Structure 1
Amino acid sequence: MTASAETLYGADDLTHLEGLEAVRKRPGMYIGSTDSRGVNHLFTEIVDNSTDEGVAGHATKVVVTLHADGSVEVEDDGRGIPTGVHAKSGLSGVELVLTRLHAGGKFGGSGYKASGGLHGVGASAVNALSLRLDVTVKHAGKVHEMSFARGVPGTFDGQGPKAKFTRQSGLRLIRKMKRGESTGTTIRYWYDARYFETGAALDVDVVRQKLRNTAFLVPGVNYVLRTATDGAINEETFHHPSGLTDMVEFLAPAGDRAVSETLVITGEGSYKENAADENGVMKSNVERRAEVEIALRWGTGYERTVEFFTNTIRNVHGGTHRRGFDRAMVKAVQEAISKTRGLLKPKEDMPTVDDVQEGMTAVIHVRIPEPQFTSQTKDELSTAGITKVIQGIVDKHIKAWTENRKTKAEVKTVLQKIVDASRVRLAQKQQKDAARRKTALEGAAMPPKLVDCRTTGVSRSELFLVEGDSALGSARMARVSEYQALLPLRGKILNVQKAGLGDALKNAEISSIVQVLGAGTGRTFDMSTMRYGRVILMADADVDGSHIRTLLITLFARYMRPVIEGGRLYAAMPPLHKITTKGRNPETHYTFSEREMETKVAALHKAGKNVVTPVPRFKGLGEMDADELWDTTMNPATRSVRRITLDDAEAAEAALELLMGEKVEPRRKWLVSSAARVDQAAIDI
């Protein structure tokens, strides 16, 4: 490096982000993402703090209110955030935990035996990414309040984030607590949309699922969800005194008859790990204590639903507790099978973890002090010592269950089911290639309606599943034939929630999809043989299009799940409106919702543009010409597509179950409660 180059890069070029600046600079590091999942995570961070009070035995009720102005309020009857002055920082406990990263009562172990929060980042990150945050604390006989604007303490002269703000540090004493009044903390925040992607919003269904799951995991706490709709407050209460047993029954697939009682496994174990003390000094072989609670059952079906939690936090990707559970189940079941005469034939292979867990519904919950996760979003537990703790507890209980004379018949039924699953898997593996050649579905030539691409490379190729033949004409002219293939679908495919694999494959549209992808279905699905790098669902932006997308997502979730898990299933997002301006420099804009269209038109009018009115609305993909379809939906450089996740698949299955399932009562309640949301003026009478 030359001397002149060195002088261009000096100490003044280094930046130190203080306080909450780091959160605002890189929000994805602290909340996982800046789409709707990030907005949902803000809520999770706040409600988890209230849940920690319930786990510690200090709270019995958590109330979540989703206000009409978009704000979220979480209230608990716990101990309340400490209001005294922190000696080292000179700040009140409330201001400390809401404005300083890595501050809280969950580091030393004295405040909480086991909690979901461990980084001291959650509440302060929410504060940093909120236009306004109000906190009310009932603690030590007094009621205090404090407000923040984007993490800065102060006061507002009115309601909402647009009220005049005056910067001011310190907690405000409001009044003394009344006799018999409960302590607790209430936090209300308005998240700042500037830090999130366009269209990102809090999902009420995610909130509801979070509260329901937590109510299962903390049976001593009532969770209440209040939503403001048309001036009225709708209230739902989640309380499950039977805990994980209730959760297993809830998660079990509809119509899946149990072949075993729900087994409840509880126990404690110790492990050692390196950890820092309160002074930051690292110590080795610090002994930890873990509490384990598991509920599981086997059903007649083959679907597996296994959920993992740490200190009430859902670990989507499992982690070390999953590793211990899987190992113990396989070991205990294999030993039981080897001891049971007549189950396995000579030289037959022992079942694997997939065979053991076929048809299983299980919930695994561990409570440990200072857990370690792979990220702030806590999707995967990484505390190493938990593996052996879980393995020992599960192995002991499953062995006792298999050897219990009272459950002999039940155990034999379960073991036979596992052995049968193993035989089917091995037979499919051995005959997969031959079966594909013999089956007309996978051995015949490609469907004549497939408009294939020229490339043989998988990484760049795309398959568009197009709604209707009318859209196919425009798509055929718009596509790049080198790497974009088209498969038109006529109408709505079969609802696979109500049909088995055999009936599903009899459906012409489903069989064409499976045949064109060339990777099989179900347990024989082989991602390595899939003919396209991406599958894009291209349906109209209307109710029928949403229905078709839901059916297709459910199809992939049931019989081609690795496509979703591998991030290779997408949904195209065709626009609803085309806004054009007249004049010397005409402009064209596409919008995806009524509100976005109205906002854009207003902005163009304000800028002096002459907007062509009325603004046309696309009724379907077939109404677009090739250039419009290419620019908005098919051009990788300008299109909008949404990657389908497992959460989307769960939501699709839940929607089909509600709207098309066998249970009438939930559907009737939903229709009655949703009737007021219908825009009667928009109905074509």
Structure 2
Amino acid sequence: MTASAEPLYGADDLTHLEGLEAVRKRPGMYIGSTDSRGINHLFTEIVDNSTDEGVAGHATRVVVTLHADGSVQVDDDGRGIPTGKHAKSGLSGVELVLTRLHAGGKFGGSGYKTSGGLHGVGASAVNALSHRFDVTVRNDGKVHEMSFAHGVPGVFDGPGPKAKFTPQPGLRVVGKMKRGERTGTSIRYWYDSRYFETGAKLDTEAVRAKLRNTAFLVPGVTYVLRDATEGSIGEETFSYPHGLRDMVEFLTPSGDKPVSGIIMITGEGTYKENAADENGVMKSNVERRAEIEVALRWSTGYERTVECFTNTIRNVHGGTHRRGFDRGALKALQEAISKTRGLLKPKEDLPTAEDVLEGMTAVIHVRIPEPQFTSQTKDELSTAGITRVIQGVVEKQLKAWTEDRKTKSEAKIVLQKVVDAARVRLTQKQQKDAARRKTALEGAAMPPKLVDCRTTGISRSELFLVEGDSALGSARMARVSEYQALLPLRGKILNVQKASLGDTLKNAEIASIVQVLGAGSGRTFDLSTMRYGRVILMADADVDGSHIRTLLITLFARYMRPVIEDGRLYAAMPPLHKVMTKGRNPETHFTFTQREMEAKVAELERAGKTVVTPVPRFKGLGEMDADELWETTMNPATRSVRRITLDDAEAAEAALDLLMGEKVEPRRNWLIESSGRVDQAAIDI
């Protein structure tokens, strides 16, 4: 056997991550991401434990305090984390649930009937990613305390995370409970920013929305938010005795008039699934019981708002319970429409789910044991059996609503609204089909300034929205005509966040974009008919270019949102500088910021190379020749592009309204409040 130069691969090359070390090594695996959403998820994990106490009937008040030093504190008046010694581990209950993964009272025991927790990594993951984590438990007539540094138990000799820390195991009894004092748990943690991306921070508005939503879902619990981040303490209380009814009222778009009263649907059902027993052995056909609670109503508007929750946890992307609701509502209303004389004309098709949901505001809440989610962040419920259960409950009770003598007249108004929505949808589809056929037959109908590509499919085709006619010449010579199309734009388009629909459609540049894409706009936008696979915004690398990109992104977010949701909208990243060296072997480097240019120049000079000075700066795309534009901005093999995403529709809408809307004062206040976050050195002057 010949000798090999490669190093041997042996047992010493294997790495075993013990305890909470795995969380610190791969935080995104346990909390979903390492941006601001991950920091928000830390808070969610802690407050959800207090909520579980409220759902179980043991807590009536949860207080969240955002301290000025960046720490977060959650207090509840529940039973308190068990403080007794755990037989198998020899640890106190507090230390067990806060330092061991997959430990807690939510794994089939008698601690909780239903719970938002599933994997038992929530509080322990927060502990692992925190500089300091303090817990105070009041139960058995005593006050217990324990502190941790990155998951290691011990004692701090003062307040805050910078105090000296001494490792020390065990739960400490620090006093007796006062007469009349309620049991409960208090947790305060200082998350370690080193485990998160630069600039990531806790979103106060997300905290407020989380507490508000949970107060709707758990009517017996009052939630209090104390925000001390600005120095003075502001306090908000969230308490909604009517539960989901209050939530539907809150979510209904302002200006929409109700077409129906709020319909409450409640019920129970059973389903079977494969599940592991307490020893981890998989068993088939384990029977589960689900509790269903739904509130909905129709309004005169066109927007649909359907919020989904499982055991008080918001499921942003819905899941199996949402599918069951859609199917149940569709089936019940289709049957009622078929039975009601005079609603449908001969040969008219029954409405679809899209028509049924138009103008609807609904909240779906299911309580089930051991729910299954697609990820630890619980954005989507994947428990399969719940679909059939909620479909049956919704279908039965909505059918009864359409037939009940007391609500029959109200139901008929809703049924007529659904039928009208279906007719409008079909009419608009016919108009779009006719317009597309005309476009296909009459190529001259396209804007004359469009430089189209030859390919007819969307797998490779790209449409570049180019800033100005000056850049069009270079781009025309640089592009691959087989699959790259160009549409030049003159100046800045209309700010559609401020303008009416009529003014938007009158704008020549916007009309050209809509016409070239060929998929319509607004409610009639049909992604499947879009003529290009990708849309790339190509503007100058300056302030005006950034403004143009912002206006175009606003247009797509407002009237062609599926392009963003499907990941097909991009922003090109043209360079700002061209760094060249002199000598026998000259080099050329493109940089995108002033700081990057200075770093590249310093690097080349350290290597003994002479840099051409002053470093040329591109004032716009039109200053680049075709080869430069192709290499830096248009060549799929060498270019850099930013994909425009829409992870949270609510947050995106709020940001657009704040930054691009009609109200000046909130924008001015935001600019003033955010001025301290500006890196003066990074500003391109």
TM-score of Structure 1 vs Structure 2, range by shorter chain:
0.7 to 0.9
Q: Provide the residue aligned with 2:184 in structure 1.
A: 184
Q: Provide the residue aligned with 2:583 in structure 1.
A: none
Q: Provide the residue aligned with 1:641 in structure 2.
A: 642
Give, in whole Å, the separation in 2 of the partners of 1:680 and 1:557: 26
Which amino acid in 1 is paired with 2:41? H
Do 2:568 and 2:643's aligned partners in 1 also have CA atoms closer than 8 Å? no
Q: Provide the residue aligned with 2:319 in structure 1.
A: 319
Q: Provide the residue aligned with 2:425 in structure 1.
A: 425
Q: How does 1:50-69 map to 2 (within 5 A)?
A: 50-69=50-69
Q: Provide the residue aligned with 2:494 in structure 1.
A: 493
| Deviations 1:484-536, CA, capped at 9 Å, x for gaps | 64643643534358744x55322333322222323223454333443443335
Q: How does 1:113-132 map to 2 (within 5 A)?
A: 113-132=113-132
Change over 3 Å in CA distance of 1:92–1:679 after alignment to 2: closer
C-alpha deviation, 1:265, in angstroms: 1.1
Q: Provide the residue aligned with 1:222 in structure 2.
A: 222
User: What SS class does the counterpart of residue 208 from structure 1 fall into?
Assistant: helix
Change over 3 Å in CA distance of 1:481–1:76 after alignment to 2: farther
C-alpha deviation, 1:541, in angstroms: 9.6
Q: Provide the residue aligned with 1:140 in structure 2.
A: 140
Do 2:66 and 2:229's aligned partners in 1 also have CA atoms closer than 8 Å? no
Do 1:74 and 1:186's aligned partners in 2 also have CA atoms closer than 8 Å? yes
Change over 3 Å in CA distance of 1:619–1:400 after alignment to 2: farther
C-alpha deviation, 1:269, in angstroms: 1.9
Do 1:465 and 1:538's aligned partners in 2 also have CA atoms closer than 8 Å? yes
Q: Provide the residue aligned with 1:365 in structure 2.
A: 365
User: What SS class does the counterpart of residue 194 from structure 2 fall into?
Assistant: helix
Change over 3 Å in CA distance of 1:527–1:185 after alignment to 2: same
Contiguous gaps of at least 5 residues in structure 2:
580-586, 607-614, 681-685
User: What SS class does the counterpart of residue 170 from structure 2 fall into?
Assistant: coil
| Deviations 1:221-271, CA, capped at 9 Å, x for gaps | 222233334422333332222221222222222322221112111122222
Change over 3 Å in CA distance of 1:480–1:623 after alignment to 2: closer
Do 1:147 and 1:153's aligned partners in 2 also have CA atoms closer than 8 Å? yes
Give, in whole Å, the separation in 2 of the partners of 1:547 and 1:78: 51
| Deviations 1:640-683, CA, capped at 9 Å, x for gaps | 73532141x42232245567879x8xx8789779866667999x
Change over 3 Å in CA distance of 1:481–1:216 after alignment to 2: farther
Q: Provide the residue aligned with 2:403 in structure 1.
A: 403
C-alpha deviation, 1:402, in angstroms: 0.5
Q: How does 1:250-265 map to 2 (within 5 A)?
A: 250-265=250-265
Give, in whole Å, the separation in 2 of the partners of 1:514 and 1:40: 37
Q: Which has the larger displacement, 360-369 or 261-270?
A: 261-270
Change over 3 Å in CA distance of 1:29–1:144 after alignment to 2: same
Give, in whole Å, the separation in 2 of the partners of 1:367 and 1:415: 30
User: What SS class does the counterpart of residue 405 from structure 1 fall into?
Assistant: coil
Give, in whole Å, the separation in 1 of the partners of 2:62 and 2:2: 63
Q: Provide the residue aligned with 1:19 in structure 2.
A: 19
Give, in whole Å, the separation in 2 of the partners of 1:621 and 1:157: 58
Q: How does 1:508-587 map to 2 (within 5 A)?
A: 508-536=508-536, 552-553=552-553, 555-570=555-570
C-alpha deviation, 1:7, in angstroms: 11
TM-score computed with the length of structure 1 as normaliser: 0.82
Change over 3 Å in CA distance of 1:382–1:9 after alignment to 2: same
Give, in whole Å, the separation in 1 of the partners of 2:300 and 2:621: 44
Which amino acid in 1 is paired with 2:198? T
Q: Provide the residue aligned with 1:336 in structure 2.
A: 336
Q: Which has the larger displacement, 487-496 or 243-252?
A: 487-496
Residue 45 of structure 2 corresponds to residue 45 of structure 1 = yes
Which amino acid in 2 is paired with 1:118? L
Change over 3 Å in CA distance of 1:453–1:214 after alignment to 2: farther
Give, in whole Å, the separation in 1 of the partners of 2:478 and 2:7: 52
Q: Which has the larger displacement, 525-534 or 72-81?
A: 525-534
Give, in whole Å, the separation in 2 of the partners of 1:628 and 1:184: 66
Give, in whole Å, the separation in 1 of the partners of 2:229 and 2:506: 44
Change over 3 Å in CA distance of 1:197–1:5 after alignment to 2: same
Give, in whole Å, the separation in 2 of the partners of 1:17 and 1:261: 56
Q: Provide the residue aligned with 1:96 in structure 2.
A: 96
C-alpha deviation, 1:586, in angstroms: 14
| Deviations 1:580-623, CA, capped at 9 Å, x for gaps | 9xxxx99998679xxx99xx9xx99xx9xxxxxxxx9x999789
Do 1:330 and 1:352's aligned partners in 2 also have CA atoms closer than 8 Å? yes
Change over 3 Å in CA distance of 1:88–1:204 after alignment to 2: same
Change over 3 Å in CA distance of 1:223–1:404 after alignment to 2: same
C-alpha deviation, 1:140, in angstroms: 2.3
C-alpha deviation, 1:404, in angstroms: 1.8
Q: Provide the residue aligned with 1:349 in structure 2.
A: 349
Do 1:329 and 1:356's aligned partners in 2 also have CA atoms closer than 8 Å? yes
Do 1:564 and 1:646's aligned partners in 2 also have CA atoms closer than 8 Å? no
C-alpha deviation, 1:464, in angstroms: 5.2
Give, in whole Å, the separation in 2 of the partners of 1:238 and 1:392: 33
Q: Provide the residue aligned with 1:611 in structure 2.
A: none
Contiguous gaps of at least 5 residues in structure 1:
608-615
Q: Which has the larger displacement, 193-202 or 323-332?
A: 193-202
Q: Provide the residue aligned with 2:267 in structure 1.
A: 267
Which amino acid in 1 is paired with 2:513? I
Q: Provide the residue aligned with 2:279 in structure 1.
A: 279
C-alpha deviation, 1:282, in angstroms: 3.7
C-alpha deviation, 1:625, in angstroms: 8.0
Change over 3 Å in CA distance of 1:438–1:448 after alignment to 2: closer
Change over 3 Å in CA distance of 1:75–1:305 after alignment to 2: same
Give, in whole Å, the separation in 2 of the partners of 1:182 and 1:574: 62
Change over 3 Å in CA distance of 1:631–1:678 after alignment to 2: farther
Do 1:474 and 1:624's aligned partners in 2 also have CA atoms closer than 8 Å? no
Aligned CA RMSD, in angstroms, stands at 4.5
Do 1:245 and 1:295's aligned partners in 2 also have CA atoms closer than 8 Å? yes
Give, in whole Å, the separation in 1 of the partners of 2:387 and 2:677: 57
Do 2:265 and 2:394's aligned partners in 1 also have CA atoms closer than 8 Å? yes
Change over 3 Å in CA distance of 1:475–1:76 after alignment to 2: farther
Give, in whole Å, the separation in 2 of the partners of 1:251 and 1:497: 23
Do 1:130 and 1:191's aligned partners in 2 also have CA atoms closer than 8 Å? yes
User: What SS class does the counterpart of residue 119 from structure 2 fall into?
Assistant: coil
User: What SS class does the counterpart of residue 406 from structure 1 fall into?
Assistant: coil
Give the structure with higher Rg (CA).
2
Change over 3 Å in CA distance of 1:97–1:488 after alignment to 2: farther
Question: How many pairs are equivalent?
Answer: 663
| Deviations 1:287-328, CA, capped at 9 Å, x for gaps | 322211111111222222111110111112222211211111
Give, in whole Å, the separation in 2 of the partners of 1:181 and 1:546: 57
Give, in whole Å, the separation in 2 of the partners of 1:630 and 1:68: 50
| Deviations 1:367-424, CA, capped at 9 Å, x for gaps | 1111111221112212222122211211121111101222233212211111122223
User: What SS class does the counterpart of residue 228 from structure 2 fall into?
Assistant: strand
Do 2:475 and 2:629's aligned partners in 1 also have CA atoms closer than 8 Å? no
Q: Which has the larger displacement, 444-453 or 324-333?
A: 444-453
Change over 3 Å in CA distance of 1:401–1:22 after alignment to 2: same
C-alpha deviation, 1:204, in angstroms: 2.4
Change over 3 Å in CA distance of 1:286–1:675 after alignment to 2: same
C-alpha deviation, 1:3, in angstroms: 12
Give, in whole Å, the separation in 2 of the partners of 1:566 and 1:280: 39
Give, in whole Å, the separation in 1 of the partners of 2:51 and 2:623: 50
Give, in whole Å, the separation in 2 of the partners of 1:676 and 1:512: 38
Which amino acid in 2 is paired with 1:641? R
Which amino acid in 1 is paired with 2:211? L
Give, in whole Å, the separation in 1 of the partners of 2:59 and 2:151: 27
Q: Provide the residue aligned with 1:610 in structure 2.
A: none
Which amino acid in 1 is paired with 2:279? N
Do 2:468 and 2:488's aligned partners in 1 also have CA atoms closer than 8 Å? no
Q: How does 1:78-93 map to 2 (within 5 A)?
A: 78-93=78-93
Which amino acid in 1 is paired with 2:642? V
Give, in whole Å, the separation in 2 of the partners of 1:165 and 1:253: 51
Alignment identity in percent? 76
Do 1:20 and 1:125's aligned partners in 2 also have CA atoms closer than 8 Å? yes
Which amino acid in 2 is paired with 1:152? V
Q: Provide the residue aligned with 1:613 in structure 2.
A: none
Change over 3 Å in CA distance of 1:572–1:44 after alignment to 2: farther
